[in-house]
Chains A and B, each alone.
Chain A
C-alpha cells in the first residue's frame, strides 16, 4: 500500500520535472537548431530549420582560429580549476578547523574581496600584467583567478560539517596536519570539491571581459572572445549561424566535463558511509 502511494507521488514529480526540462532546455535547443539554419531563416518563425545548413560550422573551422581558442580556454580553465581545488580547500579547511588569532579577520578580508566588482580591478590587473610582461600570455589570463574568494568561502562552509572526532582520531594516530587535511578532510567534502571544480572550470571557460583586455593576438584568444568577435553588428551584420555554431561547440565539452564530475559526486555518496 505504502509502496504504491510512493510511486504515484514519484510520477507527479517526474511529470513536473519533465515540464521543467522542456522550459529550461528550450533556449539551448533553439541554439542548436539555429546553428544549422541559414542566415535568412533567422527572421522567419519556423521552429525547424528549412534546410540543413552547415555553413556556420564550416565557417568556424575553415575561417577562424577556433581550435586554438578551444585549446586556450581549456588550458586556462584547467590550471585555474586545479589551483582553486588545492588552495581553496586548504584555506577553507584552515579557517574552519583551526582556532587562532585573526582567523575571523582573515576570513572577513577574503570574503570582502568578493564585494569589489572585478570590472574595477581590471586596470590594476592590466598594469600588473604589463609590468611583468604577462600581457598576451597564458599567465596573464590565469593569474587573477588562481584563488577565488568564492571557492574559499564554499570550502570553508563544507569543511565546517566535517566531524571533529575523525580529525582528532587521526591526530592521536600521529598524522601530520597537512596529511590530515589531504587524507581525512578532503575525501569528506568530495561533493563540494566536485561542485567547486565544475563552477570554477565553467567560470573560466566562459570568462569574457578580462580575456579581451589581456590578450592582443588572435592566437591567445579564448572561446567567448572569439564568439564576441562575430557578434558585432557594426562588423557587417551578425553572422547568426556562426555564433550559434560556435556556442553549441563550446557547450559540448562542458557536458562531458560535467558527466565526469557527476561520477565524483556519486562516489561522494558511496563514501558517506564512513561518516557520522
Chain B
C-alpha cells in the first residue's frame, strides 16, 4: 500500500524466484557487477603498450570537432567529404561546436544533399542505383508484409506508409533539379542569342 510504509507484496516470493529462474541473484552483490563502480582507475584489462598511442597519418585534411584540441591519434577514413555535401560538412565541423544545433542540422542537410548527389552520380557510373531493390521491398511479398501488420495493433504501422515518401523524395527532388537546370541552360542560351543580334 502506497499510503503506508510497506512496499507492495511481490506476486512471487524470493524462494520461488530462486527455484524457477536459473542464476537468480547471482549478481545480487554489486561487487559481482563488472561495471560497478562506473569509474575506477586502472581496470587492468587493457593490453595497451603505450601511454599515448602512435598517430595515424592524416592523408587529407580530416574534419574534426572544434571541441578537440587536435586530430585524435586514430580515426576512420570511410567516406572522405566530397561534392557539395562535403563542403557543407566541412563548414559544419569548422564553424560550429557540438553544442550548436546548427552543427547537427547542417550535417543532416548534408546527408540529404549527399543522397541526391550520390544517386545522380551513380547514373553515370557502371553501377546505377536501383531504388526498388535497394529498399528490400521484395520481402513485403515473401516475408508476410500484410500478415505481419494486419490485426496486430502495432504502434508503428501508422508511419509505415510514410517510408516510401522518404525514399522517393530525393528522387523526385533530383528530377526536379535536373529539369530546372536544363531549362535554365536552354533559356540562357536563347537569351545569349538574342543579345548577339
To the question of whether A and B form a pair in one complex, the answer is no
